[in-house]
Structure 1
Amino acid sequence: MRDALMDRGLVVEPQRLIEFVGHVDLWVEERMVVEIDGYAFHSSREALGEDSRRNNALTLSGIPFLRFPAVDALRDPDLVAARIEAALRGRTNLQRRHPR
């Protein structure tokens, strides 16, 4: 995912430490968090609670964030990168290209 975003000319920092949140998967353009959630690490009750805590901390901090399933990032990184880029530009009307 990092490479797909960098190919679009975006500045990406992996594993950025954000106060009250912890390390995030990707810090994009020094203003947005992107999390890529794999089933192995996000399927337990504890993981769901931690993800909710982190989402709330980001929202309360005013930091925009997006979460994507790892399968989407692996299957179509260009689509995920396009959605991230669109969010950075304030466009929110993107349709899904493939069904879940």
Structure 2
Amino acid sequence: MVDEPLSTLLSTCNSDGFRIRRDVNKRPAFFVSCSSGEEINCPDIVDKYNGTVKYYGDNRTSGSRLTNTKKNGNKILEKVWNSNESSHFHKLPIFFF
């Protein structure tokens, strides 16, 4: 992934899964992820018509908890989705390429 431009453009780490950009207070500012489209068993699906993404996550191991990942990207997504409207997490943008 050395040639992967997202990390340079958005000032995030260059790794698999969700990349988190933090603000000056070390809180998440936004999330970035991408899909190669090469996963056969659990393909991520981008529905441009409806503006939705079906993302199977960083952990595609059968029988393993979905939030059990090395960088905790899925745990953070779970926190965003479960947050209320007044929460900092509720307002975070998620970029998916």
* Length-normalised TM-score, structure 2: 0.36
Name the one with the larger helix percent.
Answer: 1
Name the one with the larger strand percent.
Answer: 1
